[in-house]
Amino acid sequence: MTATDCRIHLFPNPKTKYSECDRVEDFLSKRSLSYETTAGAEGSKPVTHIGDTVIEGWDEAKLAAALKSLGYPADGTLRT
């Protein structure tokens, strides 16, 4: 993922504001996926690469579809 505004929210509260990058990272983490974040152009939306799919910004439906097309489970549970 390429992004500029990622933050770590250790103690989120009702006033916590999440960036698009924060939302993408949360989505990937909740599915037990490892990822790498690299610096992007200042002020740009995050760009996520999943296989051959490129997703710009926070789009849960597109992220889920890209993972599903590669056989990843929706709930993050690893199957053997």
**Residue 78 confidence (pLDDT) above 70:** no
* pLDDT tens column, 35-68: 999 998 888 999 999 999 999 999 999 999 999 9
The predicted pLDDT at position 1 comes to 86
Would the pLDDT of 75 be above 80?
Answer: no
pTM equals 0.84
The pLDDT of residue 59:
97
**Residue-wise burial string across 21-33, b where 16 or more C-beta atoms lie within 10 A, e elsewhere:** bbbbbebbeebee
**What pairing do the DSSP bridges indicate for beta strands 38-39 and 2-3?**
parallel
